[in-house]
Amino acid sequence: MLYPSQAQIAPFYPVGSAICARRYTIITVMRYETIRNLAIPKIGFGTWTIGGENNAETAQDARSLAALRSALELGYTAFDTAEMYAAGHAEELLGQAIRTARLNRESLFITSKVSPEHLGYEQVLRSCETSLRRLGMDYVDLYLIHWPRRGMNLVEAFRALNKLVTDGKARHLGVSNFDLKLLEKSVALSETPLLTNQVSYSLPDRTYAKNGVLAYCQANDILLTAYSPVKRRFIRGNRPLQALAKQRGATPQQIALAWLVRQPRVITIPMSFNPQHQAENLAAADMELGEAELAQLGS
Ligand SMILES: NC(=O)c1ccc[n+]([C@@H]2O[C@H](COP(=O)([O-])OP(=O)(O)OC[C@H]3O[C@@H](n4cnc5c(N)ncnc54)[C@H](OP(=O)(O)O)[C@@H]3O)[C@@H](O)[C@H]2O)c1
């Protein structure tokens, strides 16, 4: 439920920093993952398909902007984008939606990513500058290598990423789709503590729990950002999930998100064009799952 102009609830970034004014507040206490003096929402908002898929589809702009507007009004403060999404158009629309909402930049946590084909030193610097221009921002909170590339020069990529932090263009660094070996290499190359590895992780997809990445993240204060947490094809056939959702009077997507965010150091970034789904996803941060329920889900 949304109530205009009520007292603010959410903590912002870094912990203890000024709270911004916003038009609406959501009457649930969003859960945060606190890491290195930062409070990061357990549930943020993804932007893949905002503005298009691999190319910009400007005919869809009104729909995309409406989705971003409702997410901002519902109280999402963490947004995940990439130079690759809609060939940069997702970043443009995200920047536009944030400017229109007149939100304090410091109240938001914006992640973007450099594409695997741009991992040379100069290319990383240029990609970040271009993303900032499209977003209309001076810095991103988090900048990730989107995917590893065979034969990439990780040393050179991190030399550029470290410079972005020194220059104040990126506040934190991370990687995405990195296996344990590459993650450990990245931790060694990053001059500031690596904040996240963003990977596919959900009830039906536990690859990164099985390959040791999740345990490594938890042991080393690194966030595991779970992407594709509710993708339809995964949710539809999951009988225990459907049954538990029915028992709890929740949606299967909410159970799937609650299962993720109860795990230490795990945050997630579902995407939805539908304001009802967006609200349900945020509310999932407040759902507790009992031991018997976890067993029912096979945990
Ligand atoms: N780093 C990477 O390589 C990588 C890869 C993939 C994704 N990502 C990031 O992760 C984000 C999320 O992943 P994703 O977009 O692949 O998958 P997702 O968020 O798991 O699934 C999105 C789909 O689920 C539906 N949905 C969302 N919430 C729902 C709800 N409560 N009830 C019913 N349906 C719901 C949406 O449809 P409606 O619009 O109809 O609600 C949409 O079709 C992306 O947007 C992107 O930012 C990163």
> One-letter amino acid identity for 38?
L
3-class secondary-structure state, position 46: strand
| CA–CA distance, 285 with 295 (Å, rounded to integer) | 19
pLDDT of residue 13: 36
Q: Please give the average per-residue pLDDT across 134-151, as a whole number.
A: 98
Task: Compute, in angstroms, the gap from residue 45 CA to the centroid of ligand 1.
Answer: 9
Pick the atom of ligand 1 nearest to 81's CA.
Answer: 47
Q: How far apart are CA 200 and CA 46, in angstroms?
A: 13
| Whether the predicted pLDDT of 147 surpasses 90 | yes
Query: Do 127 and 115 touch, CB atoms closer than 8 A?
Result: yes
Residues counted in the chain = 299
Ligand 1: which atom is nearest the Cα of residue 271? Answer: 19
Q: Is the N-terminal amide bond of 14 cis, ω within 30° of 0? A: yes
Q: Please list the residues that pair with 22 across neighbouring strands.
A: none
**pLDDT tens digits for range 229-286:** 998 777 877 888 999 999 999 999 999 999 999 999 999 999 999 999 999 999 999 9
CA 198 to chain centre: 8
Helix (H, G, I), strand (E, B) or coil at 39: strand
Ligand 1, atom 5: closest residue by C-alpha: 227
Which residue type is seen at 169?
K
Give the three-class secondary structure for 35.
strand
SS (H, E, C) 214-269: HHHHHHCCCEEEEECCCCHHHHHCCHHHHHHHHHHCCCHHHHHHHHHHCCCCEEEC
Compute the distance from residue 104 Cα to the ligand 1 centre, in Å: 26
pLDDT value, residue 18? 30
Which residues fall within 8 angstroms of residue 191, CB to CB, at 6 or more apart?
Answer: 162, 165, 166
C-alpha torsion 230→233→237→238, nearest 10 = -20
Please count the CA atoms within 13 angstroms of the CA of 149 that sit on its side-chain side: 14
| Nearest CA owner, ligand 1 atom 17 | 228
How far is ligand 1, taken at its centre, from the CA of residue 159, in Å? Answer: 32
Tell the residue nearest (CA) to atom 14 of ligand 1: 228
pLDDT score at 259 = 95
Q: Cβ contacts of residue 76 below 8 Å, gap of 6+?
A: 41, 43, 44, 45, 278, 282
Kindly tell me the number of DSSP H helices and DSSP E strands found in the chain: 12, 12
Please write the tens of the pLDDT for every residue from 60-102.
Answer: 999 999 999 999 999 999 999 999 999 999 999 999 999 999 9
CA 281 to ligand 1: nearest atom: 31
Phi, psi of 234 (to 5 degrees): -80, -35
Ligand 1 geometric centre to CA of 2 (Å): 23
Q: What is the CATH number of domain 11-296?
A: 3.20.20.100
- Atom number, ligand 1, closest to the C-alpha of residue 284: 31
For ligand 1, atom 10, name the residue with the nearest CA.
Answer: 227
User: Stretch 140-158: mean pLDDT, rounded?
Assistant: 98
| Residue 227 Cα to ligand 1 middle (Å) | 7
- Residues with CB under 6 Å of ligand 1 are 46-48, 80, 146, 176-177, 198, 227-232, 251, 253, 269-274, 277, 280-281
Question: 116 is written with which tokens?
Answer: 């695997």
Q: Report which protein residue has its CA nearest ligand 1's atom 30.
A: 277
> Choosing from 32, 76, 85, 143, which is the catalytic residue?
85
- Reply yes or no on whether 85 is catalytic: yes
171 Cβ contact list (under 8 Å, min separation 6): 139, 140, 141, 142, 165
Q: Is the pLDDT of residue 23 over 60?
A: no
Q: What is the CA radius of gyration of the chain?
A: 18
Task: Give the side-chain half-sphere CA count within 13 A for 75.
Answer: 30
pLDDT at 238: 84
What residue segments make up the domains of the chain, in order of their start?
11-296
170-215: pLDDT as tens digits:
999 999 999 999 999 999 999 999 999 999 999 989 999 999 999 9
What is the average pLDDT value for the chain, to the nearest integer? 90
3-state secondary structure of 101: helix
Q: How confident is the model at residue 7 (pLDDT cuts 50, 70, 90)?
A: very low
Do β-strands 24-26 and 2-4 pair in parallel, antiparallel, or remain unpaired?
antiparallel
Can you give the pTM of this predicted structure? 0.92
